[in-house]
Structure 1
Amino acid sequence: MEQLTDLKAILHSKRANIYYLEKCRVMQKDGRVLYLTEADTEKQYWNIPIANTTCILLGTGTSITQAAVRMLASAGVLIGFSGGGGTPLIAANEIEWLSPQSEYRPTEYVQGWMAFWFEEDKRLKIAKQFQQQRITYMQKIWGNDRELKNEGFSLDDQDIQQALTHFSAKIEHCQDVTNLLLIEAQLTKSLYKIAANNTKQKDFVRQHDSIDDANAFLNHGNYLAYGLAATTLWVLGIPHGFAVMHGKTRRGALVFDVADLIKDTLILPWAFICAKEQATEQEFRQQCLQNFTQHKALDFMFEAVKQASVEGKDL
């Protein structure tokens, strides 16, 4: 069996894989984690490269052995249970991630986070910082990604420019988190409208329980982003309850704060593009994972959270 240090050889911020599995059994065999599928005539085993994996979503018809969970935990892989197609994300009765247990994660980041978190004005400053970083990241990606430009998601688009400029200007004038959440929702609503127009889906309405492809892909892709955010926070040792924006009603709210750094940039446009092209769930998921790797989404999330932890105490 691989040693614990070998399993963590690849930094989490550099890992490439997220798995969504259904109708299979996850198990440990000969020092590896495998998933078993049953075809009509034979059983097939598939290897999961756990040292290069951030999280695994277990969908309908799955089971997992204790030995497999032990190896996944040793490699620092998060496990989530979900419904079909990756949504909704469920473990027991609430949205949650099953985090690997480790007493040897860094303490500097959670200590830095706690140094500012108990002061409301400092939490607001970090929330504003996250939103500005979100805009900067979108400008960088949408300004350079050729495929997105071909689909109309370009900084040359006047509506996109106006939406981002308007939001960026409003951020600094927010006096509280409630107001920041309101203008953030307005930005996302504007981006939905732009995306729907670009992909000729003019009757689109964002509804989480809707069955149309665009809404389903948005749900699915957002949960992938939540997986990256949960991984980032687990590695840095920051509990999910210490949110800067979403923490009024949801215990895991910091996951949503961190996921927001990349959701609108990498998930939103491709949900509409893939819906227009009548892509399958698997094709959409592969596109999302490719985007995460190509645009170094996990690296960006790590740096944003580390920066907030280090600089927050000096606000």
Structure 2
Amino acid sequence: MEQLTDLKAILHSKRANIYYLEKCRVMQKDGRVLYLTEAKEENLYWNIPIANTTVVLLGMGTSITQAAMRMLASAGVLVGFCGTDGTPLLTGTEIEWFTPQSEYRPTEYIQGWLKFWFDDAQRLAVAKRFQHARVQYIQRIWDKDRELKAENFFVDDSAIASALDGYVNSIDTAQKAGDLLQREALLTKQLYRYAAKTTQYSDFTRDHQGNDVANGFLNHGNYLAYGLAATTLWVLGIPHGFAVMHGKTRRGALVFDVADLIKDAIVLPWAFVCAKEKMSKQEFRQQVVLKFTEHKALDFMFEQVKQQALREDLL
């Protein structure tokens, strides 16, 4: 049996797996966490490599035992209940996480975060740095991803270059978080327009309740990004309520701030490409998780949050 002290040997930023499960029972058996599916003639057990897993999403028709939850907690795996295909999550608006408990998570990051968080100007400065990092990540990923280029997504396209340059120039002039949110919304609309045109997805309108494939994939991919963001914050010991951009009174808003670092670079283009290719939700999910891993999205989130928490010039 793997010792509890060995379960966290793999850094969260290096873990490879996100699990979405439905119509099964998650349990502990022989020192392992398994999920049980019922077939016509026999029950099938599948192992979850918890030391290499960041998030387990439990969809429709799932249950989990106390023993399994204890092992997942010891390995630092986040567990959330959600709807079909990972969306919507139970509250409908926010992530509801069972956070594995540990008395030995680091304190330096929450202490650093709180040193600036109560100052409006410093909190806005961090929000701006997040937005600059977001744009740089888009530019880097779209520039080097050969599959995206094959789908005619080019970061040096005049429409994209103009949209990103315009947003970068507007970030530092924002006077409050609300200004950033308005300008960020404009950038995202421009990216939607470019992606829809590139993939010939006609008459696209972003609608979180929409029934079309692209909107469904965007919702689903965003929830996967929220899982990575929640994992990052849990590991670093920073509560989700200490947001820098999405609102001080919105519970869980920091998850949205951190997820925004990678959503436009990865989730947005692949939602449209996979919709064009008529992929299933499972195929889309696999593609997005593959790209998260390929482009080290979790590493990037950790790096950005740690940098802002420990910045000496904000103290």
TM-score range for the pair, normalised by the shorter chain length? over 0.9
Secondary structure in 1 matching 2:130: helix
Q: What does residue 17 of structure 1 align with? A: 17
Displacement of 1:94: 5.6
Q: What does residue 37 of structure 1 align with? A: 37
Q: What does residue 100 of structure 1 align with? A: 100
Structure 1 segment 1-315 matched on structure 2, within 5 A: 1-90=1-90, 95-311=95-311, 314=314
Evaluate the alpha carbon distance shift between residue 94 and residue 171 of structure 1 in structure 2; reply closer, same or farther with a 3 A threshold: closer
Displacement of 1:93: 9.4
Unpaired stretches in structure 2, ≥5 consecutive residues: none
Native 8 Å contact 2:25 2:64 kept in 1 = yes
Distance 1:186 1:92 in 2: 24
Native 8 Å contact 2:241 2:248 kept in 1 = no
Distance 2:148 2:167 in 1: 21
Displacement of 1:4: 1.6
Displacement of 1:39: 1.2
Distance 2:249 2:160 in 1: 31
Distance 1:136 1:92 in 2: 31
Native 8 Å contact 2:99 2:234 kept in 1 = yes
Native 8 Å contact 1:80 1:91 kept in 2 = no
Distance 1:209 1:312 in 2: 43
Distance 2:252 2:203 in 1: 32
Distance 2:251 2:20 in 1: 24
Displacement of 1:202: 2.1
Secondary structure in 2 matching 1:149: helix
1:20-64, Cα deviation, whole Å (9 max, x unpaired): 000000000000000011111111100000000000000001010
Evaluate the alpha carbon distance shift between residue 249 and residue 138 of structure 1 in structure 2; reply closer, same or farther with a 3 A threshold: same
Native 8 Å contact 1:112 1:313 kept in 2 = no
1:67-123, Cα deviation, whole Å (9 max, x unpaired): 000000000000010000100112699632111011100000000000000000000
Native 8 Å contact 1:77 1:100 kept in 2 = yes
Displacement of 1:313: 5.9
Distance 2:182 2:93 in 1: 28
Native 8 Å contact 2:35 2:46 kept in 1 = yes
Displacement of 1:154: 1.0
Secondary structure in 2 matching 1:261: helix
**Runs of 4+ off more than 4 Å:** 91-94
Instruction: Quote the RMSD (CA, aligned, Å).
Output: 1.3
Secondary structure in 2 matching 1:262: helix
Aligned partner letter, 1:199: T
Distance 2:127 2:161 in 1: 22
Evaluate the alpha carbon distance shift between residue 88 and residue 308 of structure 1 in structure 2; reply closer, same or farther with a 3 A threshold: same
Distance 1:296 1:100 in 2: 24
1:244-298, Cα deviation, whole Å (9 max, x unpaired): 0012452000000000000000100000000000000110000011001100000
TM-score by length of 1: 0.98
Aligned partner letter, 1:301: M
Native 8 Å contact 2:33 2:68 kept in 1 = yes
Evaluate the alpha carbon distance shift between residue 121 and residue 312 of structure 1 in structure 2; reply closer, same or farther with a 3 A threshold: farther
Distance 1:75 1:98 in 2: 13
Distance 2:223 2:189 in 1: 19
Native 8 Å contact 1:18 1:289 kept in 2 = yes
1:159-205, Cα deviation, whole Å (9 max, x unpaired): 11111000001001101110000000000011000000011112111
Distance 1:104 1:93 in 2: 30
Aligned partner letter, 1:35: Y
Distance 1:94 1:174 in 2: 27
Aligned partner letter, 1:22: E
Aligned partner letter, 2:124: L
